[in-house]
Structure 1
Amino acid sequence: MIRNVLIAIVCLVTIEINAQEQKADSVKYWKGGGTTSLNFSQVSLSNWSGGGNNSVAGTFLFKGFLNHKKGKIAWDNTLDLGYGLTKQGDYKVAKSEDRLHLTTKLGYENGHHLFYTAMADFKTQFAIGYKDPLVQSVKISDFMAPGYLQFSLGMDYKPSDNFSLFVSPLTSKMTFVNDDALSHEGAYGVDVDEKMRGEYGASLKMTAQKKDLIKNVNGYTRLDLFTNYSENPQNIDVDWEFGFDMKINDYLSAVFKTNILYDDDIKYINSESIEEGPRVQVKQMFGAGLSYAF
């Protein structure tokens, strides 16, 4: 009887050890992490002779990654989220930041840090955007209006976790405008009353980051380029972002970033509602607040 019990205990322990070894073996091929921050600013005026408005603003930012590498197979995933609100005086609450960007890449290593790679890239925003955000009478964007989905096949040069250069001669780009009013206007390059536009061309995606450019200051950049083979291939769509994360201590940080966009399909509408063609778009943000890295 005792012998049978001992044999059963040994078998259970062996099964548990094997399960733990398999679990550890499967987890060791994964690497993940990210940073999240919540930034605030506030101005309060009382009998201020110089004039001005009371204001309060808050912005939530998140950047995360989850990568898998086993043998010659590499699977990289990144998620970039941002949402910010601001309130000035008696005006309505308006958004100051709004982004949802997900990228996934599956590659097969060919040696010399080169990977045959398939990539999917998705971009949109969370909420309604207005041309006049303080009054909010002219709607110009919403969730999936626009939304961009891009599929690419090409080569990825990745000498380290801090740098990647992906070049694709075969890229499919889909622009979605899932809003009836914006679709009816033919916004973001879709045909009038259509909600999707397909383009085929070539693309480039470069990402780089550098820790401790100077003490406690990290830098990063991302550059996305796309050209349409069949329509004005010389007019290249550009999405370039660069910025700095400045660490104050374990829980306080400051963030500065700039985003520069050019899309030949996005026409600038002036204050008199007259279309003036595409323009370079620039957004800058500086904030300080709570942060956490994992």
Structure 2
Amino acid sequence: MKKFNWLLMLCILACFTVKAQDDSMKKLREEAAGKIKNAEKDTTGRLWKTGGTFGLTFNQGSLTNWAAGGDKLSLSMLATVNAHANFNKGKHNWDNNVDLAYGYVNTTSLGTRKSDDRIDITSKYGYEIAKNWYASALFNLRTQFTEGYLYPTDSTREFVSKFFSPAYIILSPGVDFKPNDEFSLFMSPFTGRWVVVMDDTLSAKGAYGVDTGKHVKSEFGAYVSATWNKEILKNVVYKTKLELFSNYKHNPGNIDIFWTNIIALKVNKWLSANISMDMIYDDDVRVFENKETGALGPRLQVKQTIGVGLTATF
């Protein structure tokens, strides 16, 4: 009988011990879950999201005793930087983007020539007035780093551009339609644009539409900017930016077009391939000769590049 009482007490004690352990483990799990939820809330609640990519492409080719002919040596390099800093809190949205590119090509027969040169800075603030619609204000600056030339022949060149010659500055209030983080359509019927040509030589020629001897031309018109950034296939991203501007003060039917397209193929963490095409039509850039009439006038400008190289994401 005594043995039975001892066994009963031991069983009761064991039950209390197991129950206490279960309660302790449950409490620990609840505390851990609370900490995880708090950590997730802190991470996803960031007001600023920053990041970007850096790309460096280098190509080299050489020929020795090559019957088909060609340049003995060719070298090319292209560096690109795309960085962003975006703020989001409640109804407030502020997007900032910097797009930089610079490239050179060197060949035995033609020497050194610039293949790419771009500075493009955009800042856009919006306040949400309806679902996916924002009352916005946009600032954009587009220019280049160094001097640029046209090459009428292989042995001659013509100076046509440099830093802030030209530069295009846009200030625009409008509305922005953003259904998601991939697409944005900004529209404004009242936009101020300034064309800046700081170089005296180019200014004296009235380059890029400025009055002869002047350094700044002001324009007023309608402006539309559409951007789309989408992973269309696995490890394949398509980025495009289309800008349209109509100058109310002069030939409003001649719409200026700036369109940038990039397809980025990610090979691995560090290597990628890029295909880009830029198209520009500016009615004030009348430096292209019509071979049939000999007259100078505007033309659709097209720039296309293909490269494989190093890519770093930060």
- After the TM superposition, which residues 84-123 of structure 1 pair with which residues of structure 2 at under 5 Å, given as runs? 84-123=103-142
Aligned partner of 2:309 among 276, 289, 292: 289
* Bigger Rg, structure 1 or 2: 2
Q: Distance in 2 between matches of 1:153 and 1:189?
A: 24
Residues 61, 119 of structure 1: alpha-carbon distance in 2 compared, 3 angstrom cutoff: same
Which runs of 4 or more aligned residues in structure 1 lie more than 6 Å from their structure 2 counterparts after TM superposition? none
Q: Which has the higher helix share?
A: 2
Deviations 1:50-98 (A, max 9, x none): 1111100000011111100112111100110000011000543211000
In the alignment, what sits opposite 2:214?
194
Q: Distance in 2 between matches of 1:227 and 1:234?
A: 7
Amino acid at match of 2:250: E
In the alignment, what sits opposite 1:13?
none
Contact in 2 for aligned 1:92/1:135 (Cα 8 Å): no
In the alignment of these two chains, the number of paired residues is: 269
Amino acid at match of 1:224: E
Aligned partner of 1:43 among 58, 61, 65: 61
* TM-score normalised according to structure 2 size: 0.82
State the Cα distance separating 1:170 from its structure 2 match.
Answer: 1.1
1:241 aligns with 2:297: no
- After the TM superposition, which residues 1-294 of structure 1 pair with which residues of structure 2 at under 5 Å, given as runs? 28-53=46-71, 54-132=73-151, 135=155, 137-211=157-231, 213-270=232-289, 275-294=295-314
* Stretch moving more, 202-211 or 90-99: 90-99
State the Cα distance separating 1:46 from its structure 2 match.
Answer: 1.2
Amino acid at match of 1:237: D
Q: Helix, strand or coil: the match of 1:137?
A: strand
State the Cα distance separating 1:137 from its structure 2 match.
Answer: 3.3
Instruction: Using the aligned pairs only, state the percent identity.
Output: 41
State the Cα distance separating 1:275 from its structure 2 match.
Answer: 4.2
**Structure 1: unaligned runs, 5 residues or longer:** 1-23
Q: Distance in 1 between matches of 2:128 and 2:169?
A: 25
When the two chains are superposed, the root-mean-square deviation of aligned CA atoms in Å is 1.9
